[in-house]
Amino acid sequence: MMKTIKWTNSKGNVIELTATIETKIVNETISDDGWVREIENKIEKISAELIATLDGKIIDTCRDVNFWEVITTPNGYKKIRGISTIGMTEEQGKLVTAFLNQAIESMKSEDNITNEKEIKNAKYIIEKAEAQSDIFTEKETIIYLKNYNNLYNEGGEGYLPTLITKEQYELAKSKLI
C-alpha cells in the first residue's frame, strides 16, 4: 500500500512524502547457537518506508513507523520525527499528521488480517480435501457418515471423521484464484 502527499513550501519547492507499508504473514525465525531456522509459528512482518523528496530528489527516508509523527521544534516549526530535513507550518503539520495516521492505520486494517486468515483457511481445506480418498457432495457425505456410524459405532455415539465436502473444496479453490 502506498500513499503520497504533496505541498509547496514558502520558497516554491515541491515537497512530497510517500509512505509505503506492506504487511506479510511469514514463518518466525529463531536462532539456535548461531543457526537461524524457520519455525511453523506464523507472525506478522511489517515493512515500511517514508520517503521525503524535494523537487523530485530524495532527501531523507525513515523505515520505522514509530518515528512517523509530527513534532514541534524549539523554534516553533513542525517536522516529522523520523525525517529531520523538512520543516513545515502549523497548518501543514496538521495535514501531514492526518496523512501519517491514515497510512499507519491502513496497515492495521482488518481487511489485511481477514484476507490472510481466509487464504490460510482455504489452503487448509484444500489440503485436507485432497488427502481424503474421495471428495463427496454434502448429500453423499451425510449418507457416508450415517453408514460409518452404523458400522463402527453400532448406530450409537462415537467418533465420526471430519470430511471436507465437494462444495467446501470448490469454495476454497475459488478464494485462491
For the chain, what are the domain ranges? 2-108, 112-176
pLDDT given for residue 113 in this prediction: 54
For 33-83, give the DSSP string.
Answer: TTEEEEEEEEEEEEEEEEEEEETTEEEEEE--GGG--EEE-TTS-EEETTE
* The model's pTM: 0.54
Summarize pLDDT for 19-58 with one digit per residue, the tens.
Answer: 988 877 777 777 777 787 777 677 777 788 999 999 999 9
Give pLDDT, residue 97: 92
Q: What count of Cα atoms within 13 Å lies in the side-chain half-sphere of residue 24?
A: 7
Query: From CA 59, how far away is CA 139, in angstroms rounded?
Result: 65
> Cell numbers of 31, please?
536462532
* Higher-pLDDT residue of 4, 176: 4
pLDDT of residue 109: 56
174 Cβ contact partners less than 8 Å away, ≥ 6 residues apart = none
Mean pLDDT of 127-151: 93
Mean of pLDDT values over 60-77: 89
Give the whole-angstrom CA distance, residue 6 versus residue 13.
10
Asked whether the beta carbons of 23 and 44 are under 8 A apart, the reply is yes
**Residue with cell string 481445506:** 125
Residue pLDDT, tens place only, 103-124 = 888 766 545 555 667 788 888 8
Task: Give the mean model confidence (pLDDT) for residues 77-96.
Answer: 89
Does residue 67 register a pLDDT over 70? Answer: yes
